Chains A and B, each alone.
Chain A
Amino acid sequence: MWDYSDKVRDHFLNPRNVGEIENPDGVAEVGSIACGDMLKIAFKLDENKRIRDAKFKTFGCASAIASASALTEMLKGLTVEEAEKITNQDIAEYLGGLPDAKMHCSVLGREALEKAVANYRGLSPVMLEGTLICECFGVTDKEIERAVRENDLSTVDDVTHYTKAGGGCGKCHTAIQEIIDRVRIQPMKKKQAMTNLQKIKLIEETLDREIRPLLKHDGGDIELVDIIDNRVLVAKRGTCAACQAFPQTLKEVVEKKLHEMVSPDLVVEEVVQ
Chain B
Amino acid sequence: MTTLYLDNNATTMVAPEVLEAMLPYLKDHYGNPSSMHSFGGHVARKIAAAREETANLIGADPEEIIFTSCGTESDNTAIRSALASMPDRRHIVTSRVEHPAVKVLCEHLSKEGCRITEIAVDGQGRLDMEQYEKSLSKDTAVVSLMWANNETGVIFPVKTAAQMARERGILFHTDAVQAAGKIPIDMKRTAIDMLSFSGHKLHAPKGIGVLYVRRGTKFSPFLIGGHQERGRRGGTESVAGIIALGKACSLAAANVNLENSAVKALRDRLEQTILQRISDTKINGNTKERLPNTTNISFEFVEGEGILLMMNEYGICASSGSACTSGSLQPSHVLRAMGVPFTMAHGSIRFSLSIYNTEAEIDFVIEKLVPIIDRLRRLSPYWDDVKQSCVLH
Binding site for B on A (CB under 8 A): 2, 12-13, 15, 18, 20, 29, 33-34, 36-40, 57-62, 64-65, 101, 136-137, 160, 164, 167-168
Contact = CB atoms under 8 A, between A and B. Distances in A.
B322 A59 contact: no
Contact of A36 (B346, B379, B382): B346
Contact of B379 (A34, A57, A164): A57
B371 to A, nearest CB: 13
Contact of B329 (A38, A57, A137): A137
B306 A61 contact: yes
A57 B384 contact: yes
Interface stretch (B169-177, B183-191, B246-254, B297-305): B297-305
Interface of B: 301-306, 309-310, 313, 322-325, 327-331, 342-343, 346, 378-382, 384
B157 to A, nearest CB: 31
Query: Chain A binding site: helix, strand, loop or mixed by DSSP?
Result: mixed
Contacts of B382: 33, 38, 59
15 contacts: A2-B305, A12-B306, A12-B309, A13-B310, A40-B381, A57-B379, A57-B381, A57-B384, A59-B303, A59-B346, A59-B381, A60-B303, A61-B305, A101-B327, A168-B330
Nearest to A102: B324
Contacts of B313: 13
B328 A59 contact: no
Given A60-B324, A61-B306, A167-B329, 17 more contacts: A12-B309, A13-B310, A15-B379, A18-B378, A20-B384, A33-B343, A33-B382, A36-B331, A36-B342, A37-B324, A38-B381, A57-B379, A58-B379, A59-B301, A61-B304, A62-B305, A62-B306
Contact of A167 (B304, B330, B380, B384): B330
B206 to A, nearest CB: 17
Contacts of B305: 2, 61-62
B381 A29 contact: yes
Nearest to B320: A61
A132 to B, nearest CB: 17
Max chain B C-beta neighbours (<10 A), residue from A38, A59, A65, A136: A59
Max chain A C-beta neighbours (<10 A), residue from B301, B309, B322, B382: B309
